[in-house]
Each structure stands twice: as structure tokens, then as C-alpha cells.
């Protein structure tokens, strides 16, 4: 429960808000119908007993995109040459004294969040962490 409270407060502090045009109870029912019977009951108990922030958090977490292990393996097999090329070329662009991480985030209509890119840059020499989060496509042009 403490983890749930921390996660909810983190999302709130990041300015992410649940899309007000979505009917929460209807979405909860759709999510519950896709769960195994024992998990469905547990989900509905937590959902119904939660406050608005808890409900929104549960809906967001259970609505996240999912891939099976088989789908992930197929994707890597299909794109392996491009993944290796990207990794090779990317490493050439980063100075040896830095770590750079990029994460591409799809748009999320559930919390009214546009597509974005997380960029993290960290110096290996002095442990300085320079970060930019939620960059939009427009900010990169």
C-alpha cells in the first residue's frame, strides 16, 4: 500500500493527470474482464475500496501496453540487424566519459500524455547527472 501511495504522489508531482473524458468504472470493468478469475476479484476489491487517486493509478497500471515473451523475441529477431547497427553507430556519438540513455514513450490517452522522449546524460568522471525528461518532438527540432 505504501508503494501505491508513493507511485500516486510521484505521478501527481510529474503533472500527469487521468484523462477526464474516460469513464473509470467502465474501464475498470473492461480490465477486470481480461483478468483471471482470482485476479479479477482482487482487482475489483482494490478498485472499489480505493479513493480517486488509487482508482486512477490502478487503471493506468493495468492499461499499460503488454507484450508476451514470444512477441518480444520475434521483434528482436525481425529487427536484429537494425538494432546492432543502431547500437554501433550510437556508441560512436557518445563521448567516452559519458553514459547516455534514451527512452521513447508512446502517447498515453489514459493520462492525456503526448508522445515524448526521455533523455538521461551522466558523466562517468564526476558523477554529474544532467537530465531532460519528457522531451516532445517539437523541442528536438
Q: What is the pLDDT of residues 117-132, one digit of tens each?
A: 888 888 888 766 666 6
Q: What is the pLDDT of residues 25-55, one digit of tens each?
A: 999 999 999 888 888 999 999 999 988 888 8
DSSP letter string, 84-122: HHHHHHHHHHS-TTEEEEEEEE--BGGGTB--EEEEEEE
pLDDT of 107 higher than 60: yes
Does residue 55 contact residue 18 with C-beta atoms inside 8 Å?
Answer: no
Q: Is 38 helix (H, G, I), strand (E, B) or coil?
A: helix
Amino acid at each position: 500500500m505504501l508503494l501505491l501511495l508513493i507511485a500516486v504522489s510521484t505521478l501527481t508531482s510529474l503533472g500527469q493527470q487521468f484523462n477526464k473524458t474516460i469513464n473509470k468504472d467502465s474501464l475498470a470493468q473492461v480490465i477486470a474482464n481480461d483478468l483471471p478469475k482470482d485476479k479479477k476479484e482482487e482487482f475489483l476489491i482494490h478498485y472499489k475500496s480505493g479513493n480517486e487517486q488509487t482508482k486512477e493509478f490502478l487503471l493506468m497500471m493495468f492499461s499499460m501496453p503488454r507484450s508476451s515473451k514470444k512477441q518480444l523475441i520475434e521483434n528482436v529477431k525481425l529487427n536484429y540487424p537494425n538494432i546492432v547497427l543502431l547500437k554501433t553507430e550510437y556508441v560512436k556519438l557518445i563521448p567516452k566519459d559519458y553514459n547516455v540513455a534514451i527512452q521513447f514513450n508512446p502517447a498515453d490517452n489514459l493520462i492525456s500524455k503526448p508522445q515524448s522522449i526521455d533523455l538521461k546524460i551522466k558523466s562517468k568522471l564526476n558523477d554529474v547527472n544532467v537530465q531532460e525528461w519528457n522531451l516532445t518532438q517539437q523541442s528536438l527540432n
